Structure 1
Amino acid sequence: MDGHQVQQPRLRDQVRAVIRVNRYSIRTEKSYWYWIRYFIRYHGMKHPRDMGPQEVNGFLTWLAVQRNVAAATQAQALNALVFLYAKVLDKPLGEIGQVVRSKKPKRLPVVLSHEEAMRIINRLEAPYRLLASLMYGSGLRVTEACRLRVKDLDFNQQVITVRDGKGAKDRTTLLPGPLTTELESYVDGIRRSWKGKDPALRKPCSLPFALSRKYPKAGSSIAWQWLFPSQALSVDDLGNTVRHHIHVSSVQKAVKRAVEDAEIGKPAGCHTFRHTFATELLKRGNDIRTVQDLLGHADLRTTQIYTHVLGQGFAGVRSPLG
């Protein structure tokens, strides 16, 4: 072998580079790499370029038959492998043949009553109480709530802009009226700390990968400050010391403890607030298409599951018992 031959970047680095050029979210990056690595291990560490449709078919079928994964999980694995072959290896899969589809039943989501949701929220301390209030009041996913920046709140229009939500899409949702005063005061506190050159804000906040290259000073501006910053500093992809947003796992742990303390008798978590947001809006007579837009669902069928939670999927039919 020629000692001067240029070595190919590791597959992990190739995947990361293509994902970031395409502006996929960090969560998608982690998810795709998880499935790509799983696929490689399943086939005895063979490199994907030495495999193809037959091996992809075998892996997806094994997930459904042996691992009994949900249909959405199997689809996510397929998406990751389609991406790998088409975008990274430049070797599109084409027809992969008949795959055994996962038949794991989709369970109805757990939802809370308004009173149960408030019982949990009122057991949380700052900043978790405000985060949970936004998950319930605006229908945010926990990652979306954690990633909010000062510029994402529009108090005049009473809307919150969710940047790079699931599927790397932006959307707007409700800024809850009862939270307006508290949020305005909260943002004013961040502004005062920023103007006063608070040591906690001395380091810039982390920015999306492409933006940090194009506008390196944006991380020090008030507009880009995180609403819920992490206490610890971290290092970004360019080697700069930055402040990231609060870690999702810390919010999940706090909510889990509050659910236990509230003794509501349901297996609830952060995502339950989002489910409850949707069911409460439908219960109050809001149009399902509007709810779909607020949640950022690409497919109306995803939103329609909440009508089954409410028992509204039967075209107004009532039981003969009354």
Structure 2
Amino acid sequence: MPNAPDQSPKLLDQVRQTCRRRQYSYHREKAYVRWAERFACFHDPTHPRRLNEDDIRAFLGHLASERNVAASTQNQALNALLFLYEQVLGEELGSVGPIDRADEPRRLPTVLSREEVRRLFGAMSTGPNRLIAHLLYGSGLRLSEALRLRVKELDVGTIRLHVRDGKGGTDRTTVLPERLHGPLRRHLKTVKAQHEADCADGVGGVSLPDAIVEKYPNAKTEWRWQYVFPSTTLSEDPRSGAVRRHHRSDSAVQRAVKKAAEATRFPSVMASWCWRGTRCRRGDAQYN
């Protein structure tokens, strides 16, 4: 890939700043910055401000015909470029018009029987990854939603679980299976001890939305704001540079489910309901 034009670093900084001002997630910020950079490189040395809808259509067509990207990837690129022009550069775009669309394969949904689900869970080692998998199945969470759960969002007393800022930026309440109450209490006891040790070492803060940080400066170390499934290691926050404990990696859960699927001799795709980040549909009406 050729080097980005001279203006790109400044442009990419503008994309980052706008994403943070609108309180987008870090993953979304990275994706939008990446697409802005690829678009600028594709039309190098012309700055995006001097490009138009035809140039956007040419880039999207290139992704489909030359790069063979998935339809969802092409849609993400389109959304990122609309954001770049309308929110970052402040320019209204007309209709992009018809584009060379990437093929969107039609696949039958993967459904596991009750016995297959029991075998899959039985093959997973006891620990946070298995507990997360149970939450995905029993509460209908997406993987990203389970990983971002905070302590204050678990309401064991009323067997409810509150999902904040889910897909589409919406909130919702869902069930918390009764059989998970005991395991969750034991898990949180361990997590709280780890959090207290982190606080003693001066690294007990957690990332929070900017509005919360400004209104409640001490909230980052409060127990109620901590992640239910924290990472096993400390890391540097890419935005603030602070060393803290982020939530558990999605790849760790994905590997655990894939390993269990292989152990039970399920094709890897049979476990996709749990580890691709989409919400699963419960197949066991008696789970609660």
Measured against the shorter chain, the TM-score band is: 0.7 to 0.9
User: How many Å apart are 1:42 and its aligned residue?
Assistant: 2.4
Residue 248 (str. 1) matches residue 247 (str. 2): no
Q: Aligned partners of 2:279, 2:231: CA distance in 1, in Å?
A: 27
Contact kept, 8 Å, 2:205 with 2:245, in 1: the verdict is yes
Residue 104 (str. 1) matches residue 104 (str. 2): yes
- Written as runs of structure 1 = structure 2, the 5 A alignment for 1:299-318 is none
Contact kept, 8 Å, 1:111 with 1:272, in 2: the verdict is no
| Structure 2 counterpart of 1:265, from 261, 264, 267 | 267
Q: Which amino acid aligns with 2:29?
A: E
1:224 aligns with 225
Contact kept, 8 Å, 1:60 with 1:100, in 2: the verdict is yes
1:290 aligns with none
Larger mean CA deviation between 17-26 and 30-39 belongs to 30-39
Q: Aligned partners of 1:245, 1:144: CA distance in 2, in Å?
A: 11
Larger mean CA deviation between 211-220 and 72-81 belongs to 211-220
- Equivalenced residue count is 274
Taking structure 1 as the reference length, what is the TM-score of the superposition? 0.76
Q: Aligned partners of 1:178, 1:159: CA distance in 2, in Å?
A: 13
Q: Which amino acid aligns with 2:96?
A: I
Larger mean CA deviation between 30-39 and 223-232 belongs to 30-39
Deviations 1:284-308 (A, max 9, x none): 6xxxxxxxxxxxxxxxxxxxxxxxx
Larger mean CA deviation between 108-117 and 263-272 belongs to 263-272
The unaligned stretches of length 5 or more in structure 1 are 1-6, 285-322
User: How many Å apart are 1:54 and its aligned residue?
Assistant: 1.0
1:298 aligns with none
2:3 aligns with none
Deviations 1:174-199 (A, max 9, x none): 211211222123224444555xx434
SS at match of 1:172: strand
User: How many Å apart are 1:172 and its aligned residue?
Assistant: 1.9
Q: 1:279 to 1:101 in 2, by over 3 A?
A: farther
Deviations 1:230-269 (A, max 9, x none): 1221223333221111111122122221211121235244
Q: Which amino acid aligns with 1:79?
A: N
1:156 aligns with 157
Q: Aligned partners of 1:33, 1:166: CA distance in 2, in Å?
A: 20
Larger mean CA deviation between 136-145 and 259-268 belongs to 259-268
Larger mean CA deviation between 270-279 and 209-218 belongs to 270-279
Q: Aligned partners of 2:179, 2:43: CA distance in 1, in Å?
A: 54
Contact kept, 8 Å, 1:68 with 1:104, in 2: the verdict is no
User: How many Å apart are 1:154 and its aligned residue?
Assistant: 0.8
Taking structure 2 as the reference length, what is the TM-score of the superposition? 0.84
Q: Percent identity?
A: 41
Q: 1:214 to 1:235 in 2, by over 3 A?
A: farther
Q: Aligned partners of 2:137, 2:200: CA distance in 1, in Å?
A: 29
1:81 aligns with 81
Residue 128 (str. 1) matches residue 156 (str. 2): no
SS at match of 2:118: helix
**Bigger CA radius of gyration:** 1
Root-mean-square deviation (Å): 2.6
- Written as runs of structure 1 = structure 2, the 5 A alignment for 1:71-220 is 71-125=71-125, 126-191=127-192, 197-199=196-198, 202=201, 203-210=203-210, 211-220=212-221
Q: Which amino acid aligns with 2:177?
A: P
The unaligned stretches of length 5 or more in structure 2 are 1-6
